[in-house]
Amino acid sequence: MENTSTLERTLRLIALTLVVVFFMFPIFWIFLMSFQTNETILAIPPSIVFTPTLSNYAALITGKLTTAAGSLDIAFMRNLGNSIFLSVTSVALALVLGVPAAYAFARHKFKGSEDIAFTLLSFRFAPPLLVLLPLTQYFQWLGLSDTYFGLIWVYQLICLPLILWIVRGYFEDISADVEYAYRIAGHTWFATFRKIALPLAGPGIAAAGLLAFIFAWNNFVFALVLASADKQPVTVGALAFVTSSGIQYGQIASAIVLSVAPTLALALYAQRYLVEGLSLGAVKG
Amino acid sequence: MASTATLRKPASGFRISRKMLPYVLSLPALLVCIGILIPFITAVIYSFQRYRLSQPWARQFNWGENYLNFFTDPAFWNTLKVSLLYAGLTVTLELLLGLGIALLLQRRSTVNNFISIMLLLPLMIAPALAALMWKLMTNPSFGILSYLASQIGLHDFRWASSPSTALLTVVLVDIWVYTPFIMILLLAGLRSLPTQPFEAAALDGVPRTFVFFRITLPMLTPYILTATLFRLLDSIQQFDIIYAMTQGGPGNTLTVFQVEAYLNFFQSTNVGRSAALMVILWAITYFLSNVFIKNWLRLRERARGEA
């Protein structure tokens, strides 16, 4: 493919530019909007030349919006806190539950192991509202509705299959011989798991955890159905924010920026593992 | 390996036999998920009941009536049509676009690698928030896309708020979010293909269209299938983008399965119909996921084999 013509190279360049513009422009534009006041946002024609202001972020962070019409409370920081808390605890729980299970599935072909693993995987593909709607009633009876505990439990439906299948792949890639050698030297099963298997699969476990975090953070429907305003993460909160803040478009934009920044940063950090994680271990990046 | 050896848990006399160990290890994960199977069964039971939250006293089994009613229910056919149209359009367009981009970025170079990382970003944004971003950009009074549309003569182009363009708009958002998914899977696939067939073809002076259709495409097929089925499974269940953008509107233009079930449950409080819709969607996804898992396993084995 070295003998490509100038025409072809030009066409490629144009195509790539269009692709980059299409996928990057919305992020760039919303980022700009977040530093604008309503006046500059509403100006026609739109301009990328304006005096940037931090007032949108200031209003979100202090939780107080002062307008001519009076003062308004913004609960956005609460949503952001909920997102952090829900995602971190869900992933931590999923790691505690999922890593030993992944190890069991990778090292022991026991009776029903494939069935169990696939049942867990199938949760990834079932329509969430199928279980969520009856679950609202069960949660009411159990006193779990609108609790962090209930939400974290349901979040396992996203985090567990992901962690289980990715980490299982990593354990399968590590030769079991080192572990056997360590066992023969007289160490217990648990010591072998902790001192040999876990460190070797460490990078994979970390990558799976990061991905699970991104998916938990981005989830929308679980919290929409099961959480009330003060437990909602940013995905649901930002949407409610649109109606409550009325016409403060700059703040909506800065709320979006604050909401997507953590996942974007993690994705860039862990991009090496994304291909493998997103395909649940089917494709190596 | 001494398979009959028993294990001693440190600091306690509690013994776990070697046979029991894997069960003990996987049981907690399983228990957490088993709780989910109960509401699943409940949903199936509801789907065979006449059950409205507004009339709890009239709740009774009506067996297949919820399902039978669908045959004469235009709203159901609309749901089925919109869902299939949405899934078909998004997956086809994303596949073509994703394949095109993957081919453009196939050669490993600093620029290509940088672009492929950049393109991942939309995929990492929550779909509900992506919809919100596009909502701001298509706002009639200040949205940049509304402005651009008016500049090319499309005055009063109303994007998601007009029934004629609502589907187009949400499909566009879906393409923006999920094309990178197909792109990175196919790019990984392309880069993992063996080089010999291509070198041989180049030596023989085989035309490049022939190489693409007879070598590249057939070798890439398992990746294309996996990516397509993966997306199809998600797309037929799309909720976040559509709900965040239009809540199924305007009117019932975008009431795909999950949106319709949500509205049935919370707005018209018709639990029976909502559950029946979800069971039908589950049947569709169950079928698709079985096909998917077969493909996915084959690809996974290949990836493990190469590792």
Do the domain assignments include residue B6? no
Q: Which of A30, A160, A214 sits opposite B29 (nearest CB)?
A: A160
Best of A21, A130, A135, A228 to disrupt the B interface (most B CBs within 10 Å) is A130
Q: Which of A55, A168, A173 is nearest to A114 (CA)?
A: A168
pLDDT band at A85 (very low <50, low <70, confident <90, very high): very high
Both tokens assigned to B34: 């088993």
Which residue, chain included where needed, has tokens 């235009």?
A: B74
Q: Which of B184, B158, B201, B288 is nearest to B236 (CA)?
A: B288
Q: How close is the nearest chain A Cα to the Cα of B306, in Å?
A: 9
pLDDT for B150: 83
- % pLDDT > 90, chain A: 28
Q: Which of A118, A120, A138 sits opposite B39 (nearest CB)?
A: A138
* Stretch 71-110 of chain B: residues touching chain A, C-beta under 8 Å: 100-101, 104-105, 107
Cβ contact (<8 Å) for A279 and B26? no
CB B99 within 8 A of CB B213: no
| Structural domains of chain A sorted by starting position, each given as residue range(s) with its CATH number in brackets | 6-73 (no CATH), 76-278 (1.10.3720.10)
Cβ contact (<8 Å) for B137 and A26? yes
- Residue A237's identity, in one-letter code, is G
CATH of the domain at B283: 1.10.3720.10
pLDDT for A168: 87
* Stretch 22-51 of chain A: residues touching chain B, C-beta under 8 Å: 22-24, 26-27, 29-30, 33, 41-42, 44-46
Do the domain assignments include residue B2? no
Do the domain assignments include residue B85? yes
CB B276 within 8 A of CB A254: no
How many structural domains comprise chain B? 1
Q: How close is the nearest chain A Cα to the Cα of B72, in Å?
A: 23
| pLDDT tens digits, one per residue of A33-71 | 999 888 888 877 777 778 888 888 888 888 777 666 666
Q: How close is the nearest chain A Cα to the Cα of B185, in Å?
A: 6
Q: Kind and range of the H or E element at B7?
A: strand B7-8
Q: E strands along chain A, which residues?
A: 64-67, 70-73
Cβ contact (<8 Å) for B285 and A190? no
What ipTM, to 2 d.p.? 0.90
Cβ contact (<8 Å) for B28 and A101? yes
- Burial of B71: CB neighbours in 10 Å, binned 0-12, 13-18, 19+: exposed
pLDDT for A143: 87
Q: Looking at the predicted structure, is the pLDDT value of residue A243 above 80?
A: no
Q: Looking at the predicted structure, is the pLDDT value of residue B15 above 50?
A: yes
The separation between CA A9 and the C-alpha centre of its own chain, rounded to angstroms, equals 37
The pLDDT of A79-93, averaged and rounded, is: 94
Q: How close is the nearest chain A Cα to the Cα of B253, in Å?
A: 20
Phi-psi region of B251 (alpha: psi -120 to 50; beta: other; left: phi over 0): left
| pLDDT tens digits, one per residue of A105-120 | 888 877 777 777 777 7
Cβ contact (<8 Å) for A129 and B239? yes
Cβ contact (<8 Å) for A271 and B300? no
Q: Which of B176, B184, B265 sits opposite A275 (nearest CB)?
A: B184
Do the domain assignments include residue B160? yes
Q: Does A63 touch chain B (CB under 8 A)?
A: no
* Structural domain boundaries enclosing B175: 50-306
- CB proximity list for B119: less than 8 A, separation 6 or greater: A19, A20, A23, B101, B180, B183, B184
pLDDT band at B13 (very low <50, low <70, confident <90, very high): very low
Do the domain assignments include residue B279? yes
Both tokens assigned to B243: 């709900």
Q: Does B57 touch chain A (CB under 8 A)?
A: no
CB B139 within 8 A of CB A46: no
Mean pLDDT of chain A: 85
Do the domain assignments include residue B8? no
Do the domain assignments include residue B22? no
- % pLDDT > 70, chain A: 94
- In DSSP notation, A8-37 reads HHHHHHHHHHHHHHHHHHHHHHHHHHTT--
Cβ contact (<8 Å) for B184 and A274? yes
| pLDDT tens digits, one per residue of B103-152 | 999 988 999 989 999 999 999 999 999 999 999 898 888 888 888 888 88
Do the domain assignments include residue B216? yes
pLDDT for A244: 63
